[in-house]
C-alpha cells in the first residue's frame, strides 16, 4: 500500500469517462471516481463488478410480500373473521393492493438503509471527498501510486490531453 | 459528424410475397364475410383496432419523448413515425365493419324505449349517427396531430432548425391531452359497447396499457431488425435497447396493474351487471385464454426482462417483444369475442388468412413510410446525444 494518491479533476462526464477508460487500459489503480451525479456507464468503464444491491432489493421486497400476506391472512381469517359480502374469509384478491404497497415500502426503505450501511454513512459522519467541488460541478478520478513505475508527469500529460483541468498529488494515510 | 452511411433508405418490403399475403387477407375477409359472418366481422374489428393501437401508441411514444425533452430516442424516431402509417389502415377496416356490418354492435337498431328515464344518457351516446361522427372526430384529431408532428420532423432534416422541435413539443402537449380523452372514449365506443349493458371505468386505461405495450414491442422489433440488416449499425447500441427494454418491462407491469385493478373492483363490489364480464371470461375455453393472456402480457416479460443483460441482448429482447405481441392479440381476442361467439372461441381459416394479410399490409405501409424520409433524423438537435447514448 502506498500513501501517495493522484487526484485529477474533469469538467464534464464525457472527458471523465474517456479518462477512466484510458486509466484502465494503462493499468492504473483507480481508487475511486467522484461525480456530482450518477454518470451512466461509469461502473462499466471502471470495470466495477455488478452490484449485489438488486439482490438485497429482491430480498426486501419478498420479505414485505410474505409478511403482509401472512398478517392479512391472520387478521382476516384467523384472529377476527368478518363476513364481507359473503366472500371467503381468506380472499386473496383483497390482499393484493396492500401486499403490493408493503412490498414497495419494504424494498424502498430497506434499500435506503442498505445503501447507508454499505457506504458506512451514519449521522455525524464526515464526508471524505478529494475536492469539495465534486459535489458541485467537477468530476474526480483518484489514482493510487501503486508501484515505482508510476510516473506523475506521464499521468499529468495523459489526463491533460483528455481534458483534465487539474492534476495534483495527495499524500495521506487514507485515500482521499 | 454527418455520416452519409447513416441516411440510406430503409429496405422496401412491398415485395411480391407481401402483396400476395395482403391479397390473401382481403380474399379471406370477403369469403369469411359470406361463409362465417359471426366471427369474421368481430375479427376484422379486432385487427383494425390492434392496427390503430400500433399507430396511435407510436404517436403517443413520440409525443412523450418530445414533451419530456428526452434525447436518447431521436436516433430511431423514424421507426415510430413510420408506424403511424398503419393507423389509416385500421381506420379503413373499422369503417368497413361500421358500414357493412353494424349489427356487430348489439345495440345497433335496438330501441331503448323499454327503459324510459333510466338510461337516457346511454341512449343518446349509443345512437348510430353520433357513434359514427365520434369515430370520425377521433380519427381526424389523431391523424391531424400525427401528420403535423411528422411534417415538422421531416422538414428539420433539411434545415436543422430547432424551431421544428419547439413546434413539436407544443403539438405533443396538445396531442397527449386530446389522446388521453379520445383514446379512452374510442375504446369505450368500439370495444366496450360490444356488451352495452356492461361498463367499467378502468376500461380505457386498461386498453391504453395494452396499446402502448404492443406499440413498444413493434418499435423494438423494427429497430432490432434494422440494426441486424445494417441500416441502424452504428446508430443503435445496447443502451437504446436497454432503455426500450425498461419501457417494455414497465408497461407490461402497468398492463397487469390495470388488468388487476379492473378485476378487483368488479370482484369486490360483486354486482351482477359488472361481474357478467368476468364470469363469461372465466368459464369454459375462455378461462385458459384469459390465463394465457396474463402469462404472455405480463408474467413472461416480467420474469424475462427483470435482469439487465436480457434487456441489452437484441435477440432475447426481440423474442420477448414477439411474446408481448401475441399477448396483445390474445388480450383483444378475450376482450371482444366472448360477447360475439358466446359458445366458445372461434378461429378458422378465414381468421388465419386475415391475420396474415394484416401483418403483410402493416409491413407494406410501414416500410413504405420508412422509405419516405432519411432513416436517421440528422437535423434533430438531440441526434448527437442520441447517437452517443450510453
- Tens of pLDDT, residues B85-110: 999 999 999 999 999 999 999 999 87
Distance in angstroms (rounded) separating the CA atoms of residues B117 and B104: 26
> In this complex, which of A40, A50, A93 lies closest to B390 when CB atoms are compared?
A40
Residue A110 belongs to some domain of the structure: yes
B309 at interface of A, judged by CB pairs closer than 8 A: no
Please report whether residue A94 resides in a domain.
yes
| Same-domain status, A66 and A22 | no
For CA atoms B237, B243, B248, B253, give the dihedral sign.
Answer: positive
Are A8 and A94 members of one domain? no
Within a domain: A62: yes
Report yes or no on A123 lying in a domain: no
Supply the range of the domain harboring residue A89.
Answer: 53-118
Distance CA A14, CA A27 (A): 20
A40 touching B (Cβ < 8 Å): yes
Query: Is A59 found in the same domain as A45?
Result: no
Q: Are residues A143 and A108 in the same domain?
A: no
Q: Positive or negative, the Cα torsion across A15, A17, A20, A25?
A: negative
Q: Does A94 touch chain B (CB under 8 A)?
A: yes
- The verdict on residue A176 lying in a domain is no
- Would the CB atoms of B264 and A40 count as touching at under 8 Å? no
- Specify the 3-state DSSP secondary structure of A26: coil
Among left, alpha and beta (phi > 0; psi -120 to 50; other), residue B71 is alpha
Q: Is the same domain home to A83 and A104?
A: yes
What is the C-alpha separation between A136 and B189, in angstroms, rounded? 54
Query: Which of A118, A139, A158 is at the close of a domain?
Result: A118
Among chain A residues, the shortest Cα distance to B271 is held by A85
Please give the backbone phi and psi of residue A50, each rounded to the nearest 5 degrees, phi first. -60, 140
Give B239's contacts in chain A (Cβ within 8 Å). Answer: 40-41
Choosing from A73, A99, A118, the residue where a domain stops is A118
Is residue A42 domain-resident?
Answer: yes
The tally of domains found in chain A comes to 2
Answer yes or no: are the C-beta atoms of B87 and B239 closer than 8 Å.
Answer: no
Res B4 pLDDT > 70 = no
The residue extents of the domains of chain B are 7-108+122-196+349-369, 204-347
A10-39 pLDDT per residue, tens: 999 899 999 999 999 988 889 899 999 999
Tell me the pLDDT tens digit for each residue of B118-175.
Answer: 677 888 889 999 999 999 999 999 999 999 999 999 999 988 899 999 999 999 999 9
- Say if residue A105 is in the same domain as residue A134: no
Would A76 be classed as within a structural domain?
Answer: yes
ipTM for this model: 0.80
Q: Quick one: average pLDDT of B54-61? A: 97
- What mean pLDDT is predicted for residues B364-383? 91
How far is residue B41's CA from residue B128's CA, in Å, rounded to a whole number?
17
Amino acid at each position: 500500500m502506498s500513501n501517495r494518491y493522484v487526484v485529477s479533476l474533469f469538467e464534464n462526464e464525457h472527458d471523465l469517462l474517456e479518462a477512466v477508460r484510458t486509466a484502465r487500459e494503462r493499468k492504473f489503480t483507480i481508487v475511486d471516481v467522484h461525480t456530482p451525479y450518477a454518470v451512466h456507464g461509469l461502473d462499466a468503464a471502471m470495470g466495477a463488478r455488478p452490484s449485489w444491491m438488486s439482490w438485497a432489493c429482491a430480498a426486501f421486497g419478498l420479505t414485505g410480500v410474505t409478511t403482509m400476506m401472512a398478517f392479512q391472512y391472520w387478521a382476516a381469517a384467523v384472529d377476527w373473521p368478518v363476513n364481507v359480502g359473503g366472500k371467503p374469509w381468506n380472499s386473496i384478491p383483497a390482499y393484493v393492493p396492500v401486499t403490493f404497497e408493503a412490498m414497495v415500502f419494504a424494498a424502498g426503505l430497506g434499500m435506503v438503509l442498505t445503501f447507508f450501511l454499505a457506504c458506512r454513512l451514519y449521522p455525524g459522519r464526515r464526508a471524505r471527498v478529494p475536492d469539495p467541488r465534486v459535489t458541485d460541478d467537477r468530476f474526480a478520478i483518484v489514482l493510487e501510486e501503486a508501484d515505482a513505475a508510476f510516473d506523475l508527469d506521464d499521468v499529468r500529460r495523459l489526463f491533460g490531453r483528455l481534458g483534465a483541468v487539474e492534476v495534483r498529488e495527495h499524500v495521506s494515510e487514507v485515500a482521499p | 459528424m454527418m455520416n452519409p452511411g447513416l441516411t440510406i433508405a430503409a429496405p422496401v418490403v412491398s415485395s411480391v410475397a407481401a402483396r400476395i399475403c395482403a391479397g390473401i387477407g382481403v380474399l379471406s375477409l370477403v369469403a369469411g364475410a359470406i361463409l362465417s359472418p359471426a366471427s369474421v366481422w368481430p375479427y376484422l374489428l379486432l385487427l383494425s383496432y390492434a392496427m390503430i393501437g400500433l399507430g396511435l401508441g407510436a404517436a403517443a411514444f413520440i409525443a412523450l419523448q418530445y414533451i419530456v425533452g428526452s434525447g436518447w430516442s431521436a436516433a430511431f424516431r423514424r421507426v415510430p413515425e413510420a408506424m403511424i402509417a398503419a393507423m389509416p389502415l385500421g381506420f379503413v377496416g373499422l369503417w368497413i365493419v361500421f358500414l357493412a356490418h353494424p349489427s356487430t354492435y348489439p345495440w345497433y337498431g335496438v330501441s331503448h324505449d323499454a327503459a324510459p328515464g333510466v338510461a337516457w344518457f346511454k341512449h343518446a351516446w349509443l345512437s348510430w349517427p353520433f357513434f359514427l361522427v365520434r369515430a370520425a372526430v377521433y380519427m381526424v384529431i389523431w391523424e391531424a396531430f400525427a401528420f403535423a408532428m411528422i411534417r415538422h420532423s421531416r422538414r428539420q432534416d433539411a434545415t436543422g432548425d430547432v424551431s421544428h422541435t419547439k413546434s413539436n413539443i407544443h403539438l405533443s402537449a396538445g396531442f397527449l391531452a386530446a389522446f388521453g380523452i379520445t383514446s379512452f372514449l374510442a375504446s369505450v365506443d368500439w370495444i366496450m359497447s360490444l356488451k352495452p349493458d356492461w361498463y367499467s371505468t378502468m376500461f380505457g386505461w386498461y386498453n391504453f396499457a395494452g396499446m402502448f405495450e404492443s406499440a413498444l414491442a413493434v418499435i423494438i422489433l423494427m429497430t432490432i431488425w434494422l440494426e441486424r440488416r445494417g441500416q441502424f449499425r452504428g446508430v443503435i447500441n445496447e443502451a437504446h435497447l436497454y432503455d426500450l427494454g425498461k419501457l417494455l418491462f414497465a408497461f407490461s407491469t402497468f398492463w397487469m396493474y390495470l388488468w388487476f385493478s379492473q378485476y378487483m373492483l368488479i370482484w369486490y363490489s360483486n354486482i351482477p351487471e359488472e361481474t357478467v364480464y368476468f364470469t363469461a371470461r372465466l368459464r369454459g375455453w375462455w378461462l385458459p385464454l384469459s390465463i394465457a393472456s396474463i402469462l404472455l402480457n405480463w408474467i413472461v416479460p416480467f420474469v424475462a426482462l427483470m435482469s439487465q443483460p436480457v434487456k441489452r441482448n437484441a435477440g432475447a429482447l426481440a423474442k420477448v417483444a414477439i411474446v408481448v405481441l401475441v399477448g396483445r392479440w390474445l388480450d383483444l381476442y378475450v376482450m371482444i369475442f366472448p360477447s360475439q361467439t358466446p359458445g366458445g372461441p372461434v378461429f378458422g381459416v378465414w381468421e388465419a388468412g386475415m391475420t396474415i394479410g394484416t401483418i403483410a399490409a402493416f409491413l407494406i405501409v410501414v416500410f413504405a413510410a420508412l422509405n419516405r424520409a432519411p432513416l436517421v433524423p440528422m437535423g434533430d438537435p438531440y441526434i448527437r446525444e442520441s447517437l452517443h447514448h450510453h
